Structure formats: C-alpha cells, structure tokens
Structure 1
Amino acid sequence: MSTPDAASAAPEAVATPVAAAAAVTPAPGESSVRRGLPRVAGGEPWPPAGTAPASGDVSSRSASPSSLDDRASDVGALVVVQPEASAPAALLSADLDTPLPWTRTVWNGRAPRHVAAAPASARRLPTWPQAIAGLLAAAALGLVAGAAIAFVRTLLSFPFMQDFLAAFPGEYEPAIAVEPGFAPWVNWAHFFNMFLIVLIIRSGLRVRSEKRPTVFWTPRGNQKGKISLTLWFHQALDLLWIINGVIFVVLLFVTGHWVRIVPTSWEVFPNALSAALQYVSFDWPHENGWNNYNSLQQLAYFATVFIAAPLAVATGFRMSGLWPKKAEKLSKAYPVEWARALHFPIMLYFVAFIIAHVALVMLTGFLRNLNHMYASQDAVTWTGFWVFIASLVVLAVAWFAARPLVLAPIAKLFGQVSGR
C-alpha cells in the first residue's frame, strides 16, 4: 500500500488516481468509509468492510493537495505519486495560467471573395531577364519600324513609283456629287459613338474577367434570365449603341453622305495602297476630309461601319439572353462557339481603329480636325478643342460612375437587382 511517504520522496512528481481502490484499515479513532451498493449482483457492498479514507498531503504540478485529498476521499481511493523523469525542469516551473500555443484548424467561415488581396509588395515583379527581354523587344520593334520607313522612302524615290503616285495620289473623285462639310447630326452621332464604344469596351473586358459577380439583375417575369449587373450594363450599352448606329446610317443615306464612306470605284484600292505608302514614308497625303476622304480612310470607315459593327452586333446577340432558346435549327446553324471566337477579336479591331484614328487626328491638323468633328466648321480655331475637352470630362465621369452603387438604381427601373 502506498503511503504519504512516497509523495514526500518525490517532490517533482505528478499525482494520478489509482484505477482500482484498495482496502485501508482504519486507524484508532477514525470511522470507516460509508459503504454503498455492491458492484456485482449478490456481492457485498462496496467498498469492502474496513476501508478507510487516505490521509496525508499530496503535492501536484496541476492541483493543490487539498483538492486531491478531497477527490481521493470521495471515491475511497488512494493517491499514487509517480515520478516523471522525462519532464524538464523549465516545463514544471512554467506559469500554469498561460495557455499552451495552438493553431486554428477549422474553416474561418469567410467566403473567398472576402479574402484580403496580397499587398503590393508581395506581388510578383518582372525579373531582370524579363525586363531586359522587354527592352530588347521594344528596341527590335523600333528597328523594324525604322527599317520599314527607310525601305518605303527608298522605294518611292524610283521613277516607276513616282509615276504610280502621280496616277493614284491617294483619293479619287466620287461618282456622285455630295455637299462638303459635316452636319451637326454627324457631330452628335460621333460623340455618342465615342461615349458608348469606350464604355462598351470597358464593361466587356470586365465581363470577361469577372469570375464571381456580387450583384445580379433579373428581368421582370423571367426569373431564369438572371445575369450579372456588369453584363446587364454591357448589353444596355450595346442597345444604345445599335440605336445610335441605325440613326446614323439612316441619315447617312437620306442626306447622300454615304458616298463619303462607301467606295464607288475600283480605283479605291490602288489609291488606298498609295495613301498607305505615303503614311509609312511620313510624306503624308493631302488632308481634305472636309470635302472627301482619301481612299485608305474610306476603306477603314466602310469596314468599321458596315462590316465590324454588324459582326459585333450579330455575335453579341448570339451570346446574349435575347437569343431564342427554342430555335434549335438556328442555333445549330450558328453555334455559340463561333460567336465567342469572333466577338473578342472584333473588339480588338475597334481598339486598334480608335488608336489609329486618334493618332492621325492629332498628327494631321489637330485643331482643324477637331473643328470638323465637334464644331461643324472648317477652320483652325479652338472651338472644337474645348468641345472635345468637355466630351472627355463627360466620358471620365461616366467611366468612374459605372459601378454597382450608381448602376443598381438604374437597373431597378427595368428589373430586379439582388446580391449574392
């Protein structure tokens, strides 16, 4: 039987209760432990007769001696003290009120869209080899451009090319006479087209990159037509762009100004080649947009208005929710994969056209060209420039306002707006 002397012999021991109780003979003057029901049927009451509570002080690293004595007396068990040789002295002397270190192993309950983005300093930056490769690529493009300019200038210096430029100066007289200048409706249509196409490109790129939309729009009476608010904004802009384009084309043919952008002679192709060579050589063709576009401009405007724009509408309509779901034969004849394969390259064409268009406007008589497009006058004044600046301010406001906080109230006028 263990005695309190064993506990005093090991002061740095850990106290544990013994699983099986032992019988203790009560000392003189002490009363025996109260006995209860037997553990087995027909046996004698437990604990056995003559069992006495354990006495003495027991020291423990995790509990006071008095609490251990109380527990031992309640169950009628003795306390055995065993030495813990493997425990270091620093662990035994640690503050027991300090919680042990632990790692959270459960899900934190936050959706992926709430995960904080990586700090800017943690983002991957291009390595030195990548930066050098980029500089070398830019230098190579510059050398190619310089070589192309030198080659074309040399080519145009030959007599046969001088004869070609004389026969095809870059433009031809249209077969149908048209009044020169630009009517105010042309200026307004040009502004709305610029305003809408920029926002369409912005929202279209947002639709492509948006993986988990947070705001949705649902049309009234069609709960299955739920789309993201960004896609609704993109399609709403498309409808306005189509309306503006239809009005422009109708007025173009009503007023006879279609002749300015629709080729009426096969001479357009050699003249377009002549104009292209003159642009590359930086000996540019004569600018006469108030009366007649050169052939390269005419082909570019014709391709944009009558080819690229209808293709953008047709591919966008095929991918939209407006496409009839039950038209199986029509869907089979015009697969949605074709529309997806064409829609993005068409957008790239519009971006390239805008860049080239703005560059040539700035480099071929900036103030005069702005007066043509924004003030309906053929003069070198600042009127068109300030109207152009005002249009940029309007576009910038619309650019920054194109977010759910502003779009949601507008979208609610045409359907239901809901969050995730």
Structure 2
Amino acid sequence: MSLTTKEGARTADKAAGNPALKKIWIAVGVVLVLALLVLAARWWRGTAAGEQFLAAYPGHSALPQNAPTGIPAWLGWQHFLNAFFMVLIIRSGWLIRTTARPKAYWTRNNTGLFKTKTKPKKISLEIWLHLSLDVLWIVNGVVFIVLLFATGAWMRIVPTSWDIFPNALSAGLQYLSLDWPAENGWLNYNALQVLAYFAIVFLAAPVSAITGLRMSPAWPAKLDKALPMEAARKVHFPAMLFFVGFLVMHVLLVLLTGARANLNHMFAARSDDGWLGVIMFVVAVAVTAGAWFACKPVVIRALAGMSGKISK
C-alpha cells in the first residue's frame, strides 16, 4: 500500500471515529444533493416537457363550486389552540423521554364522578401533563372536525379530484426549483398543502392519539392484543417527529410566502396586508413560549394537585 493510500485510509478511519466530523460530512452531502436537485428541477422546468406539465398542472386543484370562500374566525382560533397544544404535547413528551427518575407522582382522586371500583394508578407528573394536554388537544380536534364538516370548510383540505397528485408533484417541483407556485391561501391551498393538511388532520393526529392512549393507564386491558405496546411505541415517536417537521416547514413557508397576508388569513380572518395578523401571531408565540417555559415541576405539581394526590 502506498503512503498516499495509507494516509487516506487513516483519514477515513479518523473521520469514522469522530462523530462530529461524521455529522459534518453528512451535512455537506445533504447540501450537495439538495443543490443537485435544485439544478435538475430548474433545468427540467426549462424543457418543453416541463413547460407542458406545468401548464396542464399549475400546482393547485379547482375546488367544488359550493366550497366556502375565505377563512372564518373560528378556524383562526382553532388553528392557534391546535398549535398551542401540539407544541406543549411535544414538550411534555420530550420530558417523559428525558426524565430518568420522576421527582413526584400523581394519583387521581377516587371520589365523586371519578370514583371507580379499581384503585387509581400512580403516574409521574410528566405523564400526567402529557395526558392532560392530549385530552385538551383531542377535544379541540373534535370541535375542529365538527365545524369543518358543518361549514363545508373540509373541501379546502380534503382532496376532491385525482388531479391533486400531479398538481402536488408540480407544486413540489416548483418549490424545489426555487421559483415557488403562486400563493392565494385565502381562496385555495396548493395541492401539496392540501395533502399535507389532510395527512396531519386525518392520519397523523388519529395515529398519535390512539398510540398515545395505548401507552396510557386509560387503555382497556382487554384491547392489549389489538394494539401491542411495543408497536404503539414504535409508531408514536416517529409520529411526533412528523408533527415537528410539519410545524417547522409550515412556519417557514408562512413567513417566506407573504408573511403579513398569510398571518392575516390565519389569525385575523382577513384578506389584506395589514398588521393585525402579525400582532396576533406575536402574541400567540409569546403565550406558547411562556407555557413552554412554565412546564416546570413546581408549576406541574400545582396544576396536578387540583385533581389528585401528589406523592414522591
């Protein structure tokens, strides 16, 4: 083996044994792949086939004629509450994963309407917080689904035509080429957004709720075989990562594709470029951040103590 080959081998071995260096090389590789994909998408858009495809599928599907126009105020409040609970659920779930030994436990008061023949189970304060937030998130979700179908707003996030798929591909290619599709969320989401919202509301949310319930003390023992605990654990954490990825991409696209107009749609139920939506967004972020940092043992203990007994 030549000296150059030996030095190359030693360098490779050193990189393999250095986790930080390995991560740097992975990051460089990801950036290079993304750059190549962007160049390929931009080249393809300039071809005759690319131009014909984009002309046939501009990136959004037409809504049914009876679809409602605009975003109602109730959807803005639902949007805030859903994001608020999702962020705190992620926070409390991470506390469960990173807390080696809980400092305190909660036991439900077995009185009044909550009195049962079986002895209430003792759970950690972190699990109590996670389950309590889950209940609030599910209740809010049920209200959201009811209003969604009662007002016809479901047509905005449920695919109603098969051309949603080629239009989603078109929107994805436009994003990838850095020449983004035209946005008008007040009237119609692009096809990629529709599929993402549909997946979050009707797929990821139910899966997260069911697998989370399976890992909680509230799960009926007679249904253990229907959904094994190990299977629920393997699905629940990736579902959380999916929510995190969605939240990050959602916020980035909202801010990069006309922040004031988008925030007015989502928070102020208005179709203009005023500042009301931005102000409401800042307040919503401040409230959510405050709740995030309030997830401390002393605060959780005080809240949990209202409905049960706290013990060490």
Q: TM-score, normalised by structure 2?
A: 0.90
Between the aligned partners of 2:224 and 2:130, the Cα distance in structure 1 is 23
Give a deviation string over 1:322-359, Cα, whole Å, max 9, x none.
1112x1xx321221111111000100100110111011
Between the aligned partners of 1:176 and 1:408, the Cα distance in structure 2 is 52
Between the aligned partners of 1:333 and 1:135, the Cα distance in structure 2 is 43
- Are the equivalent residues in 2 in contact too, given 1:181–1:291 (CA < 8 A)? yes
- Give, as a single letter, the amino acid of the residue that structure 2 aligns with 1:371: N
- Give, as a single letter, the amino acid of the residue that structure 2 aligns with 1:385: V
Map 1:190-269 → 2, pairs under 5 A:
190-221=79-110, 223-269=119-165
What is the aligned partner in structure 1 of residue 180 from structure 2?
284
Map 1:30-41 → 2, pairs under 5 A:
none
What is the aligned partner in structure 1 of residue 58 from structure 2?
169
Give a deviation string over 1:58-114, Cα, whole Å, max 9, x none.
xxxxxxxxxxxxxxxxxxxxxxxxxxxxxxxxxxxxxxxxxxxxxxxxxxxxxxxxx
Between the aligned partners of 1:377 and 1:175, the Cα distance in structure 2 is 22
| Alignment partner of 1:324 out of 201, 220, 225 | 220
Post-superposition offset of 1:157: 1.2
- Give, as a single letter, the amino acid of the residue that structure 1 aligns with 2:290: V
Post-superposition offset of 1:265: 0.5
SS of corresponding position for 1:332: coil
Post-superposition offset of 1:133: 3.5
Give a deviation string over 1:206-256, Cα, whole Å, max 9, x none.
111212101100012364500000100000000000001110110000000
SS of corresponding position for 2:274: coil
What is the aligned partner in structure 2 of residue 37 from structure 1?
none
What is the aligned partner in structure 2 of residue 342 from structure 1?
235
- Are the equivalent residues in 2 in contact too, given 1:176–1:259 (CA < 8 A)? no
SS of corresponding position for 2:106: strand
Map 1:12-411 → 2, pairs under 5 A:
129-221=18-110, 223-325=119-221, 327=222, 330-411=223-304
Query: In structure 2, do the counterparts of structure 1 residues 216 and 369 end up closer, same or farther at CA, with 3 Å as the change threshold?
Result: same
Between the aligned partners of 1:145 and 1:173, the Cα distance in structure 2 is 31
- Give, as a single letter, the amino acid of the residue that structure 1 aligns with 2:295: A
- Are the equivalent residues in 2 in contact too, given 1:200–1:238 (CA < 8 A)? yes
- Are the equivalent residues in 1 in contact too, given 2:16–2:22 (CA < 8 A)? no
Post-superposition offset of 1:297: 0.5
Post-superposition offset of 1:128: 10
- Are the equivalent residues in 1 in contact too, given 2:107–2:121 (CA < 8 A)? yes
- Are the equivalent residues in 2 in contact too, given 1:260–1:298 (CA < 8 A)? yes
SS of corresponding position for 1:348: helix
Using the TM superposition, name which of 392-401 and 234-243 deviates more: 392-401
Query: In structure 2, do the counterparts of structure 1 residues 192 and 294 end up closer, same or farther at CA, with 3 Å as the change threshold?
Result: same
- Give, as a single letter, the amino acid of the residue that structure 2 aligns with 1:290: W
Post-superposition offset of 1:135: 3.0
What is the aligned partner in structure 2 of residue 7 from structure 1?
none
Between the two proteins, what is the percent identity of the paired residues?
A: 48
Between the aligned partners of 1:130 and 1:321, the Cα distance in structure 2 is 39
Between the aligned partners of 1:127 and 1:169, the Cα distance in structure 2 is 45
- Give, as a single letter, the amino acid of the residue that structure 2 aligns with 1:381: G
Instruction: With a CA cutoff of 8 Å and minimum separation of 6, indicate the structure with the bigger relative contact order.
Output: 2
Between the aligned partners of 2:93 and 2:21, the Cα distance in structure 1 is 33
Post-superposition offset of 1:129: 4.7
Report how many residues are paired: 291
Q: TM-score, normalised by structure 1?
A: 0.67
Bigger Rg, which one: 1
RMSD of aligned Cα (Å): 1.7
What is the aligned partner in structure 2 of residue 76 from structure 1?
none
- Give, as a single letter, the amino acid of the residue that structure 1 aligns with 2:131: Q
Post-superposition offset of 1:374: 0.9
- Give, as a single letter, the amino acid of the residue that structure 2 aligns with 1:248: F
Between the aligned partners of 2:125 and 2:50, the Cα distance in structure 1 is 56
- Give, as a single letter, the amino acid of the residue that structure 2 aligns with 1:151: A
Between the aligned partners of 1:162 and 1:371, the Cα distance in structure 2 is 33
Query: In structure 2, do the counterparts of structure 1 residues 332 and 134 end up closer, same or farther at CA, with 3 Å as the change threshold?
Result: closer
- Give, as a single letter, the amino acid of the residue that structure 2 aligns with 1:212: R
